[in-house]
Amino acid sequence: MDINLFFQGYDSVNGYQASLLRDIDAHIHFRRCVLTSRDNDGRDHYDPAKYEKIDYDMCANARYEYKMDMNRLRPLSRELLTAMEPYEPAAVKMLCRITDFDIFTYDEAKRFYLHHLRFWNDVFERNQINYVFLTGIPHHTHDYVIYGLTKVKKIPMCILAPTHLPHWCFVGNDLYSLYERLDEAYARQEESGGEVVLPPDVEAYYQALLRENKQQKMQVMLGSGSKKEHARKEKRQIMGYVMPDQILKRQLSRIRHGLADSLRRKSAAPWKESLAWMRRDAYCIHKVRHKLKHCDTIREYEKMAVAPEWKGQRYVLFLLHLQPEATTLPQAGVFAEQELCVQLLAPVLKDYGIRLYVKEHFVQPYHMKTFYRDLRKTDNVTLISSDVDSVDLLAHCVAAATPAGTVSIEAIANGKPVFVFGHGGFEHGPGIYQVGNEAQCRTAIEEILRGGPVPAAAVRRYFKAFADSGICIYSPIEGAEPELVEQSRRAIAALAVREIRGVK
């Protein structure tokens, strides 16, 4: 069978992406390959007879008309539109990633979604794609549409899903069951017994999660710089769309490109396109600024939040995720709106005399005004100041709770059980309870109250199982040692060859 591959590419330098695909082709000899990629230095070269390269930034902003005449695309059928309905709400919600704000009307968002769907359906059909390899969690509208099309067309796929464990990824065949290979590896670890030896970087991460190594955790999680510097950097990234220097940079770049293209082509069309782009950008800037008027910042949250009661108060700790983030959208699934988790868990805990402490992420720049106020009004909920160290909160809690975040493994590393609502990949480990309704929450809390701390030996076996079932990847643009980047490139190519051969 001829292989027609879709490959979600990496940010590439020094021809990294092209050489990776050549390695895969040398073993499986695909007929066609469609890829999305950012070629940062222009050194990736592809044979147009075999490859179709689509710029990742063009995809993220739904600007496909720069690549082709949209009138030539296949129309969407009733059957496809119906089959894609389960994926549509999340895909539409992900449009917030264009500006990091949810600013589009329903009609605008629907049009963007259908724009993506029509383009990618045409790509899949025209190239007869029969294998999909995703090198990240599909969390933008275009790559989530690609994921949905892969599912409804029943095309086999492999997903490399990054985790907060630096450089390590899950390997899976479905976004919402990334746990499968980890669970199988953990079962083997349980059977084998004996001392657990973790790879050095995984051991370092595990040690950093332990509460006695608080300073080490900050270095692993945040890298260089203080917590305050990290918050400033993240806020600038999220708010960058409406920062004056970034607006000026975007518009000057568009003016330069528009003028240069018009002079080169001796046509006014590129300049007119640039003017149209700047008008759309101005519209989005206006919408973001209007949105901000209806949002509360972290300062408003702090006015509602209190210090925790350390003595005489049993509590479950719910750490809100930074948004927009892949850990909520799409990995939280139907619990992407985090208040749903709070509303489900709080009344159950009240029956057992346990409070639900909710703590905001310290770099979250904004939320709709109703978000914090509704949380504060929820019975049995206490909002905790974001300045309180999560390590200390975890040390005294009955359990932790999360849609799909890293707190699940941080908690069990410190002997604390966890409620997990979503599908982050770590939902079936020792001491982890995946819940989705009141009965499951009740069963979980009763088991937690009967049991003791999560055994450290079981957690270490779980970490070993993750290392055995995952893959370690060093990006070519992160300044890693060249030999680590090359080792990663060969490992990805070998994995892709094994996965594709497994379905031929």
Q: Tell me the C-alpha to C-alpha distance, in Å, between residue 57 and each of 38, 62, 251, 274, 277.
A: 7, 9, 16, 16, 15
Q: Tell me the C-alpha to C-alpha distance, in Å, between residue 136 and each of 89, 326, 357.
A: 20, 10, 32
Which pLDDT score is estimated for 323? 87
**Do 41 and 13 contact (CB within 8 A), yes or no?**
yes
As a whole number of angstroms, the longest Cα–Cα distance in the chain is 78
The DSSP element (H or E) to which 58 belongs, if any, is helix 56-60
Tell me what percent of the residues of the chain surpass a pLDDT of 90: 79
Strands 399-402 and 418-420: parallel
Segment 466-483, tens digit of pLDDT: 999 999 999 998 888 999
Which pLDDT score is estimated for 160? 97
**Do 262 and 269 contact (CB within 8 A), yes or no?**
yes
What is the model's pTM?
A: 0.94
Which pLDDT score is estimated for 164? 87
Mean pLDDT of 380-394: 94
Segment 18-36, tens digit of pLDDT: 999 999 999 999 999 999 9
Average pLDDT of the chain to the nearest whole number: 93
Which pLDDT score is estimated for 225? 62
Does the pLDDT at position 77 exceed 60?
yes
d(CA 91, CA 88): 5
d(CA 420, CA 408): 7
Nearest to 90 by CA among 445, 309, 329: 329
Segment 121-154, tens digit of pLDDT: 999 999 999 999 999 999 999 999 999 999 999 9
Does the pLDDT at position 110 exceed 80?
yes
pLDDT band at 340 (very low <50, low <70, confident <90, very high): very high
Segment 213-254, tens digit of pLDDT: 876 666 666 565 667 787 788 788 888 899 999 999 999 999
3-class state of residue 342 by DSSP: helix
3-class state of residue 268 by DSSP: coil
Which pLDDT score is estimated for 217? 66
